[in-house]
Amino acid sequence: MLNESEKEFIELVLTAGDKALEQDTFELMIEEGVPAEPFINSTWDYTLGEVMDSLAEKGLAYTESQEETIHYNGGLRGKEIEPIKWENTGFKTVDRQYIYFTEKLEELYQE
């Protein structure tokens, strides 16, 4: 039921989770999800959009947008690095895409 790109993406997430988490990766992906940004600029043979669209059509994964407040600084402007100045720091609200797996994917994967 999974194509090669989907399998490769899921393996990537599970491998990273096994190395970085002290909990079950599927549990985290179902309950909390992970930000999509680390997976967007990839050097893989697929794009995140293609894989997520395919997984979503099958009811195996989905994305949600969440508002988050982040801290930023003005140290990077254009291509030159500038010293960070207190007056250039602040907080802003951004929409961040999160990737979630479904229980159906966990069941399918563990077969």
Phi, psi (rounded to 5 degrees) for 53: -60, -45
**% residues pLDDT > 90 (the chain):** 45
* Domain around 25: 4-109
- What phi and psi, each to the nearest 5 degrees, are found at residue 45? -80, 5
Domains of the chain: total: 1
Per-residue pLDDT band for 58 (boundaries 50, 70, 90) equals: very high
Give 107 or 42, the one with higher predicted confidence. Answer: 107
Q: How confident is the model at residue 55 (pLDDT cuts 50, 70, 90)?
A: very high
Question: pLDDT tens for residues 18-32?
Answer: 888 888 999 999 999
Q: Does residue 22 contact residue 14 with C-beta atoms inside 8 Å?
A: no
Indicate whether 71 pLDDT > 80. no
Question: How far apart, in whole angstroms, are the C-alpha atoms of residue 66 and residue 105?
Answer: 22
